[in-house]
Amino acid sequence: MFEHQRHKPPRILARPRELLLVCAPLRSNINLSRIARAASCCGLDEIFCTGPAKLERRIARDGADTIRIVSHRTLPPVLTKLKKEGFRLVGLEQTTGSIDIHHYAFERKTALVIGNERTGLTSQELDLLDDVVEIPVWGMPFSYNVATATAMALYEYCRQWPEG
Amino acid sequence: MFEHQRHKPPRILARPRELLLVCAPLRSNINLSRIARAASCCGLDEIFCTGPAKLERRIARDGADTIRIVSHRTLPPVLTKLKKEGFRLVGLEQTTGSIDIHHYAFERKTALVIGNERTGLTSQELDLLDDVVEIPVWGMPFSYNVATATAMALYEYCRQWPEG
């Protein structure tokens, strides 16, 4: 009835994605590499990182070739620049005023801002955001791994903008 | 404007989740442990596994305490039993006849069946499924990591059934 189609051709975007990922310095290049693989699969071609950011090929796979890692020293100037370029700055955190992602309509031109595994985004970074979205949690350990949460948020954006 | 709420209380399900995860033997206990953490966060309390399955606490975190790993020798008898108990058996793969998960309405009582990282589900297992869902892919490496794909599918199910 069902037969494997392991090399099914990917979807073609009608226009380039206008979703940007912006990452605070992450503790783990494994998490960054997992994020890069998922982002590349979703059709993104660039991740803005902070600090020393290096992809591990065994995790990111061919995503390591297709996704460009652009490193910056700190996040706030990047966020200010993207804001000027018309991106809506959306953090992925649990904060006061954060919106349940199930009920959030992403603008097409969005920069999704990802915090550090332990410390999240700084208050200076949070102050620059337009919105914060959170993914509902029902059980222990009451927080998703950063790469898992990012994958879920990428999924939701792509569900809302399947054509790019 | 936004302030961290790192210990926000989790959502309370109106009724226990009737979503079950069923995993083929995975190559990597890291992937299994990542799946366990995400599943526990989503309010599941059980994962059916095949073969030697062991959670790594540093990955699964407190999910290792809350999610029960039930191991079976092979998948087909488990699938047959779950089918008799009224679960809809839904594979997560790219196959002939697989449905875009964006357009799939999950039945509440669902067993989500996850294949091996390399080989996916066997044809004998595929034959027992009611449906197969696939997550759209737009870029290299043209496939999500198994734990990433499972997290996205868990997210979609929970989006459709936020109250359990």
pLDDT band at B59 (very low <50, low <70, confident <90, very high): very high
Domain ranges of chain B: 19-160
pLDDT tens string B64-97: 888 999 999 999 999 999 999 999 999 999 999 9
Residue A115 is given by DSSP the state -
Contacts of B6 in chain A (CB under 8 A): 94, 120, 143
pLDDT of residue B65: 86
pLDDT of residue A64: 85
Q: Which of A5-9, A34-38, B91-95, B155-159 has the lowest mean pLDDT?
A: A5-9
**Considering chain A, what is the average pLDDT of its residues?**
95
pLDDT band at B17 (very low <50, low <70, confident <90, very high): very high
pLDDT band at B1 (very low <50, low <70, confident <90, very high): confident
Residue A95 is given by DSSP the state B
**CA-to-CA distance for A18 and A15, rounded, in angstroms?**
9
DSSP codes joined into one string, chain B = ---B-TTPPPP--SS---EEEEEPPPS-HHHHHHHHHHHHHTT--EEEEESS----HHHHTTHHHHSEEEEES-HHHHHHHHHHTT-EEEEES-BTTPEEGGG----SSEEEEE-BTTTBS-HHHHHH-SEEEE----STTSS--HHHHHHHHHHHHHHH-TT-
State how far residue B84 is from chain A, nearest Cα, in angstroms. 20
Residue A110, both tokens: 């969005």
| Among candidates A62, A129, A151 on the partner chain, residue whose Cβ is nearest the Cβ of B148 | A151
**CA-to-CA distance for B129 and A2, rounded, in angstroms?**
8
ipTM value:
0.97
Which CATH code, of 3.30.2320.80, 3.40.50.720, 3.40.1280.10, 3.90.950.10, is assigned to A26-160? Answer: 3.40.1280.10
pLDDT of residue A98: 96
CA–CA distance from A28 to each of A15, A25, A76 (Å)? 32, 9, 21
Contacts of A65 in chain B (CB under 8 A): 140
Interface touch A138/B12, C-beta < 8 Å: yes
Q: b vs e for B93-123, b when ≥16 Cβ sit within 10 Å of the residue's Cβ?
A: bbbeebeebeebebbeebbbbbbbbeebbbe
If one counts every other C-beta atom within 10 angstroms of the C-beta of residue B16, the result is 10
Interface touch A120/B4, C-beta < 8 Å: yes
Fold of B19-160: Alpha/beta knot (3.40.1280)
Look at residue A53 and tell me whether its pLDDT is greater than 90: no
Hey, of B155, B158, B161, which one would you mutate to test binding to chain A, going by the most A CBs within 10 A of its CB? B155
pLDDT of residue B9: 85
pLDDT of residue A52: 81
Locate tokens 């929970």: which residue? Answer: B158
pLDDT tens string A71-91: 999 999 999 999 999 999 999
Interface touch B138/A8, C-beta < 8 Å: no
Contact criterion met (CB below 8 Å) for B28 and B2: no
CA–CA distance from A19 to each of A80, A112, B8 (Å)? 16, 7, 28
* Amino acid code (one letter) for A72: H
State how far residue B73 is from chain A, nearest Cα, in angstroms. 23
Look at residue A7 and tell me whether its pLDDT is greater than 80: no
